[in-house]
Chains A and B, each alone.
Chain A
């Protein structure tokens, strides 16, 4: 069963700063998910990636399969980026659409 570690747990930064959130997992996977959770509890899927790098607007996600590590970057951060960012991987190794196991999340606050 996969385990996920995220860091940092909390992060406060000034508007415009470059943000990095890290995620490590224990078991080889087919894909890793980055999710965003807003204060009301709603969850939005940001990225699903299995190799390399993906970019969407100011968000960039990278993954190193050999190292079992992924990073989420936010460029030119803005107060509206304030949320909890969660890394998730399939609960079990191998392919197939498994349920996910989640990191504890990174509480990000961007101050104006």
Chain B
């Protein structure tokens, strides 16, 4: 298994500000993903965090709004920029160890409220 921690676990922010969420894994992993879950909605993939290069974003998500870093094989950050109330969501980091469709392990999530 993989032990994943996320910081912060929750935050309340003012619109127009930015928040950086950290994801730390206890061992090296192959893939790291960032998901968003808006209230009452299903989880949606924001991007794949690539180690040492730019993240791969899904349709509807852009780097200017959600810049992502992954400086090594155990750590990644997601920034939610210029926040609005529509960004109020749970943000989840997940990881995969292998190259095949291995079990994905999920972090505990960051609950963000934007006022």
What residues make up the interface of A, taking CB atoms closer than 8 Å to B? 29-31, 33, 35, 41-45, 48, 50, 86, 88, 90-91, 95-105
Inter-chain residue pair count (beta carbon < 8 A): 69
For residue B24, CB closer than 8 A to chain A, the reply is no
Q: CB-defined interface of B77-94 with A at 8 Å, one 1/0 digit per residue?
A: 000000000000010101
Separation of A5 and B88 alpha carbons in the complex (Å): 25
State how many residues of chain B have any CB contact under 8 Å with chain A.
28
Point out the residue from B96, B100, B101, B109 that lies within 8 Å of A42, measured CB to CB: B109
Separation of A109 and B88 alpha carbons in the complex (Å): 26
Point out the residue from B98, B101, B105, B109 that lies within 8 Å of A98, measured CB to CB: B101
Smallest CB separation, A85 vs chain B (Å): 12
CB neighbours of B44 from chain A (8 A): 102
What residues make up the interface of B, taking CB atoms closer than 8 Å to A? 30-31, 33, 35, 37, 41-45, 48, 58, 90, 92, 94, 96, 98-106, 108-109, 111
Separation of A23 and B42 alpha carbons in the complex (Å): 14
Most B CB contacts (10 A, CB to CB) among A41, A91, A97 go to A97
In the complex, the answer to whether B104 meets A33 with C-beta atoms within 8 Å is yes
Separation of A98 and B30 alpha carbons in the complex (Å): 11
In the complex, the answer to whether A101 meets B109 with C-beta atoms within 8 Å is no
Smallest CB separation, B51 vs chain A (Å): 13
In the complex, the answer to whether A99 meets B33 with C-beta atoms within 8 Å is yes
Point out the residue from B42, B96, B100, B102 that lies within 8 Å of A86, measured CB to CB: B42
In the complex, the answer to whether A103 meets B42 with C-beta atoms within 8 Å is yes
